[in-house]
Structure 1
Amino acid sequence: MPELITPQGNHAISAILFDKDGTLLEFVPLWGSWAECFLEQFTRQLEVRGLEFPAPYLASLLGTIHNAEGKITGYDRNGPLAMGTMSDLYAILSWQGYLLGLSWAESMELVDICRQEADEMLEQNRPALPLPGLLHFLNDCAAQGLAMAVVTADETAAAEKHLSWLGIRSYFSAVIGTDQTERGKPFPDMALLACEQLGVQPSAAAVIGDTNGDMKMAKAAGAAVAIGITGTAHTPGNAAGDDAADPVTARYYLLPDADSVVQSYQELSFSS
């Protein structure tokens, strides 16, 4: 059985379960651009109806970090955009429309218009970028004979599409979206289903993710190790993200349930 080497210890595994957004692909280029388009349309659609949503509170709706120009530069890794399902996001925004005076039906229709605009923008631009070192790591995993799966809060069809945009779909024997299980993260359902489809025991699988929900899912499923990958993460109240570049800070503030925390895939390897 291959041995995965992490900065905090080594683990004998036969499979790896990857989160998708923020773990395989860069989160902000894809979902930051989607959220910007969605929130812009949301504001515009409210204005058409004679309503106004306070601009300073836009960031708090989905858990996004904005610069002075309003561009999304980061995200709360334990917030709605990172952890929620698409249905969760639509419900959050529909609720805001309802609070401003729309009927629930009107608010859902407004949100659907925004969804269509944001989805069309993604389809046209396809802003999917792999995390640094990902392709090399996936090749190493394949060379070790590891079974691999994706477990994501996104819906399966969208996940399949994004993996195809990246050109990495062939690495994974299973893609488990939140629509395939009764409960999503932080519950173990998706990890257990992925292990079942891979034909491995959870105790022989590593989980790699960028949110503490991923770590909790791994622990609940009985995974061999829960590995948090931080990249250039943002800690709460730290728009620059400098502190979160320190794995110790990330471990305690962003990923307290992780067994191991790395900033990039270059910190992971296999014993020869």
Structure 2
Amino acid sequence: MIAALIFDKDGTLFDFTATWGGWARSALVALARGDADLAARLATAMRYDPVAGLFAPDSTVIAGTTAEVAELLLPHLPGRQAAEIAAELNALSAQAEQVPAVDLPKVLGALHGRGLRLGLATNDSEASARAHLAGAGVADLFDFVAGYDSGHGAKPGPGQLLAFAGAQGLAPAEVAMVGDSLHDAAAARAAGMASVGVLTGVAPRDVLEPAFDVVLPDIAALSGWLETRR
């Protein structure tokens, strides 16, 4: 029986393209201090098309940590430090207007009401994640929140997932990881957990299906999937 669910954030709880596609334009201009040519170079480094507002499927931004994105941008920002860039990215991302993938209070509230414990494992910072959950009105539904900077490592490593299971007193087999990227699937596999993919991120079904135990349209379909496991 599944007793707990640990969710990825971007592309899982929140629609990735709708949330981050437009945000990236203003974030890059801010990082470039208004220099349009530099902003364009940063966009190229991030594998981001500012005209379409889309990230390439292999962009580090999709599943990487903020620290990894900062290292990617560092060669284009001489005189600045990676930690400084990461801090600015974290501050900018915390202010990003999140677009929920589904009615989060309704869907997560129903799962919580079934007695499931809920966790969040993201490669964003913990502070940004907590701000986004609070903005969506669902922070109080989560028993555990971890970012790449919370001391448990980052995905695709299993540290965040195992920390959640341990904090809840559960075996990994009692937890399912829900995410939209191959990093999420790899983390679940490494942790010994069931894995559920959703299609509210960038990766299409044919990429996710070989890696996840099951692929659902979005997290609203979790309730039905859980019934099949009874």
Same fold, TM exceeding 0.5?
Answer: yes
- 1:212 maps to 182
SS at match of 2:25: helix
Q: Compute the displacement of 1:176 (Å).
A: 1.1
Report the secondary structure of 1:258's partner residue.
coil
- 1:128 corresponding residue in structure 2: 98
Counterparts of 1:58-69 in structure 2, within 5 Å, are: 58-66=42-50
Q: Secondary structure at the match of 2:131?
A: helix
- What is the RMSD of the two structures over their aligned residues, measured on CA atoms? 2.9
Report which stretch shifted further, 162-171 or 76-85: 76-85
Which runs of structure 1 show a deviation greater than 6 angstroms over 4 or more consecutive aligned residues? none
Decide whether aligned partners of structure 1 residues 146 and 62 sit closer, same or farther in structure 2, where only a CA change above 3 A counts. same
Equivalence for 2:11: 22
**1:185 and 2:155 equivalent?**
yes
Partner SS for 1:181 = coil
2:166 to 171, 177, 196: 196
- Distance change >3 Å, CA 89–CA 253, structure 1 → 2: same
Give distance in 2, aligned partners of 1:256 and 1:59: 30
Secondary structure of the residue that 1:89 maps to in structure 2? helix
User: Which protein is bigger by CA-based radius of gyration?
Assistant: 1
**Cα deviation, residue 146, structure 1:** 0.6
Deviation string 1:124-158 (CA, Å, 9 cap, x unpaired) is xx512221244332122112101111111111111
CA contact (8 A) 1:211 1:255 kept: no
Provide the rounded CA distance (Å) in 2 between the counterparts of 1:161 and 1:142.
Answer: 20
Contact 1:132 1:265 in 2 (8 A): yes
Displacement of 1:267:
2.8
Residue 61 of structure 1 deviates from its aligned partner by 2.0
CA offset at residue 54 of structure 1? 8.9
- 1:223-266 CA distance string (max 9 Å, x none): 0x2111112x545xxxxxxxx3xxxxx2x324531111112234
2:63 is matched with which residue?
Answer: 83
Residues 174 and 16 (structure 1), Cα distance of their counterparts in 2 relative to 1, 3 Å cut: same
CA contact (8 A) 2:94 2:131 kept: no
Indicate whether 1:144 and 2:114 are aligned. Answer: yes
Alpha-carbon distance between aligned partners in 2 of 1:254 and 1:75, rounded to the nearest angstrom? 18
Query: What TM-score results when the alignment is normalised by the length of structure 1?
Result: 0.72
Q: Give the Å deviation of 1:91.
A: 1.3
Shift in Å, 1:84? 1.4
Structure 1, unpaired ranges of 5+: 1-11, 236-243, 245-249
Contact 2:120/2:144, CA 8 A, preserved across alignment: yes
Change (3 A) 1:62 1:113: closer
